[in-house]
Amino acid sequence: MKNLKELKWSDLKTGIFFVLGLGFAAYLGLVIGKNTSMFTGVTTIRFMSQNVNGLAENNFVAVSGKKIGTVSKLNFTTQHDSLYVIAELKLRNEFAGLVTKDSKATIRSLGILGDKYVDITTGKGPSVSEGDFIRLETDDGLAGLTTNAKATLEKLNTLLDNLNNGKGPAGRLISDEKMGNELQETMANLRTTSAELSKVSTGLSKGNGLLPRLMKDKALADNTAQTIENLKTTTAKLNSTQGTLGKLGSDPALYDNMTRTMSSLDSLLTDLKRKPGRYVKFSLF
């Protein structure tokens, strides 16, 4: 039979190993739960925001879609009478050098309704150091889509109300029967006019009148243009004071004198026909 002391020491060693095993398992669970590695060091950086949009501790941090760390803490702070949240990000040292002091963090969602994570866009400055703050850029995501959809629905409802109440041209077209009939009549007239213009266009392209010939015969068109130009020149001369015709149009005295002269000549010719002997004498010897 074994010694009582030996049995107790054996039980004690078993208990010690059991407790150590439990402690090691708990540590592994803590490490795995926080998405960190116990074999690598970490660099802690921060950002501050008034709204973290549902970001939670232990959510992961990524650069270009690859996980490089986790969100370790979310604490409240007050600055200038405003409430903020400071998020601490633990980055694995092997990737911490990728994050620069001018990097920008964005809170994004995995899918439309997925968990939140921090996506970091790197810059060109020096790498971050322990305790540095980086800037957070907002990403509206689903909230922005919801807000835009709500605004669009409000505008659509307003438009429908205006249409139903007869406001604006479109509303009047729907509610005002007289205006609708007038619009239909106008459209019918436009169709008729369009058909008539189409016939005229066909006649011009296929007819034998002057206009089709002018469109097809360049020589005739040039002669017509020259004739019109000559008429314009003649009209301009008639309207000017140069030449007899121009003076007749612009000098009343000259016109009156010419009128009297023509009248006298007409009287003389009339009297000559009636009494030629008064003006012409014939003698045979």
Burial-class residue 87 by CB neighbours within 10 Å (0-12, 13-18, 19+): buried
Look at residue 36 in the predicted model and tell me its pLDDT: 47
- Rounded to two decimals, the pTM is 0.41
Burial-class residue 62 by CB neighbours within 10 Å (0-12, 13-18, 19+): middle
The residue extents of the domains of the chain are 1-33, 39-139, 210-252
Query: CA nearest 35: which of 65, 56, 60?
Result: 60
**Residue 61 · residue 89 · CB < 8 Å:** yes
Q: How far is CA 139 from CA 53, 99, 134, 152, 187, in A?
A: 9, 20, 16, 20, 50
**Residue 134 · residue 47 · CB < 8 Å:** yes
Any idea which residue has 């059991």 for tokens? Answer: 18
CA distance 121 to 124: 10
**Residue 143 · residue 107 · CB < 8 Å:** no
**Residue 61 · residue 68 · CB < 8 Å:** yes
**Residue 35 · residue 68 · CB < 8 Å:** no
Look at residue 85 in the predicted model and tell me its pLDDT: 94
Any idea which residue has 């189409």 for tokens? Answer: 198
Mean pLDDT by 10 residues, the chain (285 residues): 53 69 69 51 93 91 93 93 94 93 92 83 92 85 60 77 68 67 82 82 66 68 78 72 61 69 76 68 52
Residues in the chain: 285
CA distance 247 to 270: 29
Look at residue 39 in the predicted model and tell me its pLDDT: 47
